[in-house]
Amino acid sequence: MLIGASTGGPAHIEKILSRLPAPLPFSIVIAQHMGAEFLPSFVQRLRLKTSHDIVLAQEGMSLCSQRVYITSNTTTLQLHNSLLHFSVQNSSTARFNPDIDALFTSFTQLSNLKNILAIILTGIGDDGINGCIALASRGVRCLAESQKTAIVYGMPARAKEQVSGVAVLDLYEIIEQIKKFGGV
């Protein structure tokens, strides 16, 4: 499961994770726009507020189920010897930290995309939209937060306008869709 968020995202991510049972039968990879220096404290806060195994994605780390990964910089997934590993690059050309588009797009290399759900939450701008378009074109289900619950209706509005077949839902409806999708 992939989640991209910007302004207003930390509280929404906390709400999502606090309403999901632990351990999860799947993994969640989150790209929350935030300065790299603040990400470790964000991970720590989520650990304290939820019962999930939450880590900051590191270079070479393998993607495992039952874990929540918080990304930084330009984080992508690389397929190597049938395993998915994180690649974390500090990019001076990336518009955002972390880069949601880079993360989402990296998942298009997988042959079995039916087990992926991509979600765009509250935020300014358009990061994640190109990644959602690439995933949706490969059959991935994409969700965008509604204007009713988004703190800032920028990224979700762009998703609604540009991503074919995107479902626009309130935050609590997104949580229910995550549960249904993950079988929890």
Residues annotated catalytic, as ranges: 6, 33, 127
Measured CA angle at 104 (ends 98, 107), to 5 deg: 130
Task: Kindly write down the DSSP assignment for every residue of 14-66, as one continuous string.
Answer: HHHHHTS-SS-SS-EEEEE---GGGHHHHHHHHHHHSSS-EEE--TTPBP-TT
Distance of CA 82 to the CA centre of its chain: 22
CA distance 158 to 134: 14
Please choose, from the candidates 100, 113, 65, 106, the residue with its C-alpha nearest in 3D space to the C-alpha of residue 86: 106
CA distance 12 to 49: 12
Task: List, in sequence order, every beta strand (DSSP E) within the chain.
Answer: 2-5, 28-32, 54-56, 68-70, 74-80, 83-89, 117-120, 141-145, 167-169
